Structure formats: structure tokens, C-alpha cells
């Protein structure tokens, strides 16, 4: 069966119906730009644009780039601060005409999708997915179970939030070569996370996962196995649809 997933990012909002039997998009995704400023009302409106593009009429799963408990936003590092305290499920539900909406952290959604359909299948040790985009999102699993809302992108690295130095946005904004970014920024960040958690696997997702050949060769010297996300940048959409299906009792 198909369920709709939407992934809210710092730069873009994308979504599509998802075939939950295959863990893959049922149609080509539709993407719109994240508004600036990324206020709750404006972002909800863009989510509605994505849903309406497909004429969708059913449950909708939505990821959010921050901590979400229930459907209430607790942090909003890469969108407008007005999100903090907002019930995103209610707000977005109203924007999409009363369709049932499930909201969860974006990296958690991507991680659940990768553990079910992608690079984390069958892994029972500690697995950490990191989404490298506007910021750095994280999803931590042990024994196949998610520890939600970990936000490891905000660990301190060189006196700054790690995502300010090691995210894909940092590489682009500072015009760093892939080698410099991987060896001087990303590898040091991964080494710090490795020291704290001793995972058996890092899964690197987000937009840069499709360019893994440009930076993975430079991430040597770590004990932990490192692989790109198999679902690439669609993992969040798939995970959002999975969450909506569970809440609706269809999955």
C-alpha cells in the first residue's frame, strides 16, 4: 500500500507517495523551497503544496529538523524559532485540509527507513545514522530499537556546534574541497561520536550520500564501518510514510 511522506529540510521540502511494501517512492518526488524565514505558517503552507501536487487524500507523515515529542516541536536550529512549542501535527493537519498528520524528527525517520529497507537491515548492534545537509541530524539504534531525538549534530567540536563545521552546508559555504571537508571536519566529528558511542556502523545520509565516492575514501583511520545510506535522500520521506502508516494502523 501507499502512504504519503514529506521531508522538511532547511533548504527544501519534498514529498511523495511511498510504496511501503518496497520501501521506495511510488512516484517521483515533488520539491519546493523552504520559505525564508521558515515560520510555522509558511512552512505548513509549503507542505500543503507538496501534498496537493499529488491530489493526496489520506494519512501524511512529516519529518521536522528538530526535536519532536508527541507532535510538539521542542527545538528548531535550522528553521524559525517560532516553531518551538508549536503543535506541528495540528498546524500542518489544518494546512492539508484535515488529513491525519504524523510528525517526527527528520533523522529518526531516515534512520527507521534505513534500518528497515536500507543499509542497516539485519544489524543488531549500535548503529548511528547521520544526515549531512543544512545541519547534521542523527538517529541512534541499539538492538534494532531507536533512541529518539538524539541531536548529535549539536555536540561541541572545536568550540562550535559540530554541524556548523562538519555539515554539507558548512562545506559549501566555506568552499571546502571534498578532501579537506572529509579529513579535517567530518572525520574528526565521526571520531568524536565513535569515542562516545562505540557503534558498529555509521550510515551517512542526506543529500551528499549520492556523492559518497567523493568523500568516503578520506574517512580512514576509524574503527567503525562507514557506509552511505542506501535510500539516499529519500530516506526521510520513506520513514515519514512508515510513521504515518503505524499511527493509522495500516502498517
Same domain as 222, residue 126: yes
- What global pTM score does this model have? 0.95
Same domain as 241, residue 223: no
Instruction: Provide the residue count of the chain.
Output: 251
The answer to whether residue 113 sits within a structural domain is: no
The answer to whether residue 129 sits within a structural domain is: yes
Same domain as 134, residue 80: no
What pLDDT, in 10s, does the model give residues 22-45? 999 999 999 999 999 999 999 999
227 closest CA partner among 195, 199, 205: 205
Q: Does 1 score more than 90 pLDDT?
A: no
Proportion of the chain above pLDDT 90, given as a percent: 93
The answer to whether residue 112 sits within a structural domain is: no
Q: Does 250 score more than 90 pLDDT?
A: no
Helix (H) / strand (E) element for 189: namely helix 187-197
Q: Does 56 score more than 80 pLDDT?
A: yes
CATH code for the domain in which residue 177 is found: 3.30.420.40
Domain range for 17 is: 2-106+234-248
Task: Tell me the CB-side half-sphere exposure of residue 180, using CA atoms within 13 A.
Answer: 8
Whole-number Å distance between alpha carbons of 104 and 236: 10
The answer to whether residue 33 sits within a structural domain is: yes
What pLDDT, in 10s, does the model give residues 80-105? 999 999 999 999 999 999 999 999 99
Same domain as 153, residue 242: no
pLDDT confidence tier of residue 207, bands split at 50, 70 and 90: confident
Average pLDDT over every residue of 182-193 = 98
Residue 215, C-alpha cell as written in the block? 568523500
Whole-number Å distance between alpha carbons of 147 and 152: 12
Same domain as 83, residue 8: yes
Structural domain count, the chain: 2
Amino acid at each position: 500500500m501507499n502512504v504519503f511522506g514529506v521531508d522538511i529540510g532547511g533548504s527544501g521540502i519534498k514529498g511523495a507517495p511511498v510504496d511501503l511494501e518496497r520501501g521506495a517512492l511510488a512516484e517521483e518526488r515533488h520539491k519546493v523551497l523552504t520559505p525564508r524565514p521558515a515560520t510555522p505558517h509558511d512552512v505548513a503552507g509549503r507542505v500543503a503544496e507538496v501534498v496537493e501536487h499529488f491530489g493526496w487524500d489520506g494519512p501524511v507523515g512529516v519529518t521536522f529538523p528538530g526535536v519532536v515529542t508527541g507532535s510538539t516541536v521542542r527545538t528548531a536550529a535550522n528553521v524559525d524559532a517560532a516553531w518551538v512549542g508549536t503543535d506541528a501535527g495540528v498546524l500542518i493537519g489544518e494546512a492539508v485540509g484535515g488529513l491525519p498528520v504524523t510528525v517526527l524528527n527528520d533523522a529518526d525517520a531516515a534512520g527507521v527507513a534505513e534500518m528497515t529497507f536500507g543499509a542497516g537491515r539485519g544489524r543488531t548492534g549500535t548503529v548511528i545514522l547521520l544526515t549531512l545537509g543544512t545541519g547534521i541530524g542523527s538517529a541512534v539504534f541499539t538492538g534494532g530499537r531507536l533512541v529518539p531525538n538524539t541531536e548529535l549534530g549539536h555536540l561541541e567540536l572545536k568550540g562550535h556546534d559540530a554541524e556548523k563545521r562538519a555539515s554539507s552546508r558548512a562545506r559549501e559555504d566555506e568552499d571546502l574541497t571534498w578532501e579537506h571537508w572529509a579529513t579535517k571536519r567530518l572525520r574528526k566529528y565521526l571520531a568524536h561520536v565513535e569515542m562516545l558511542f562505540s557503534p558498529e556502523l555509521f550510515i551517512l545520509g542526506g543529500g551528499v550520500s549520492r556523492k559518497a565516492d567523493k568523500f568516503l575514501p578520506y574517512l580512514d583511520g576509524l574503527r567503525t564501518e562507514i557506509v552511505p545510506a542506501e535510500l539516499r535522500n529519500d530516506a526521510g520521506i520513506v520513514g515519514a510514510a512508515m510513521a504515518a502508516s503505524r499511527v493509522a494502523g495500516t502498517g
